Structure 1
Amino acid sequence: MAELIAKSPCAGLLPVSVGGLSLSEEDLGALTSLAPFNDQEKGLSAALEAAHGMKLPAMGRSTGKAGNRAIWFGRDMALLAGPAPDPSLAEYAALTDQSDAWAVVRLEGEGAEDVLARLCPIDLRSKTFKRGHTARTELRHMMASVTRIGANSFQIMVFRSLAQTLAHDLKTAMEAVAARR
C-alpha cells in the first residue's frame, strides 16, 4: 500500500531569491471563511473582536497582525487566518474551513511593487495601497488575494492548484525586474 505524504502547495518550488527580492511560502495556520448571516456584520465583528482581538475588516482592508489576521475576501466575506475560529462566531456567520484550499506566498524586497506591477492590473504602490490594504485581483491570468503586510512585502494567495503557476510567474517577473536594475 502506498504511503501518502502531506506536502505544502509550494513544496519544491520555493523559496526563490532573485537580486534583492525573495519569494517564500507562508503557513498562515487555519484559514476559515467568515460569511455573515443577513444583518449580522456588527454582531460578527463584536464576536471576532472579543474572541480574536480584531474587528471584521472593511472592504479592501485587513485587521489583526501576523498569525492572527482577518482579511477582506470579497463582498460579505472575510478570511480568518491563523487561529481556529472561536465557536461563538458561528452564531453570526457561516464558517468554512479553507486551510487546504490556498497557496500562500510572501514576496518581499526592494522592487516588490515593480514585480506585481508586471502582473496585476491595479495600483499597488505604497502611496495608494498602504500596509493592511488588500485586494482580490487578477495576477497575470489567475485570481488572487494580495495584501500589503509591510513596506516592501506582500502576501499573495491563489487556489492551491495554481501554486506552480504562481511561483513561475512571480519568479519570471522577479528576474525581469532584477535585470533592469
Structure 2
Amino acid sequence: MILGKNLLPIKKYFEKYKDYILFNKTLIISGVFAFIGGALFTQFYSYFDTNSFSNSVVTLAFEYLIYLPIFGFLFYFDNKHRYIDRRTGKKNINVIKSDIKKLIAAFAISEIVFSVSKVVIHFELLNNQIFEPYLASMIASLSAWVIFLIVINLSVRTVRLFKSR
C-alpha cells in the first residue's frame, strides 16, 4: 500500500493536467511520424534535386501531409467526449467550432515559428554539407520541435483551449 500512497500525487497531477498531457502526447505521436517521414523523404529528394532551399521547403510540406491528419484524428479521439452534449447525447457543434477556432489561433503562431526555424536550420545544414540530408532534416526537426512545443503550449493556455466546462 505504500506504493499506492506514493502514486497519489502523480494521479492528482495527471487528473489536473490530463488535457494538456493528452494534447502533448498527440503532438509528439504525430510529430514522430512526420519526423521519420521527413528524414526519409529529404534523403530521397536529394537524389533528384541538389537545391538545398527547395529540399527544405518540399520536405516541410511533406511532413505536414503526414502530421496534420494524424494530429487531427488523435486530437478528436482524445477529446470526442467534450463534443457530446450530456443532456441530448448529440454532437455540440458550437463546442466543436469553438475548439477549432482556438486550435487555429494556437497553431497559427506556433506553426510559423516551427516552419521558419525548421527551414532555416535545414537549409543551413544542407548548404554547408555538414550532414547527410536525412540527418540534416532530423537535426532541424528536433531543434524546431523544441521551440514549437514551448510556443504551442503557451498558445493553448492563452486561448484557453482546455478551460473547465
TM exceeding 0.5: no
Structure having the higher strand fraction is: 1
Select the structure of larger CA radius of gyration: 2
Structure having the higher helix fraction is: 2
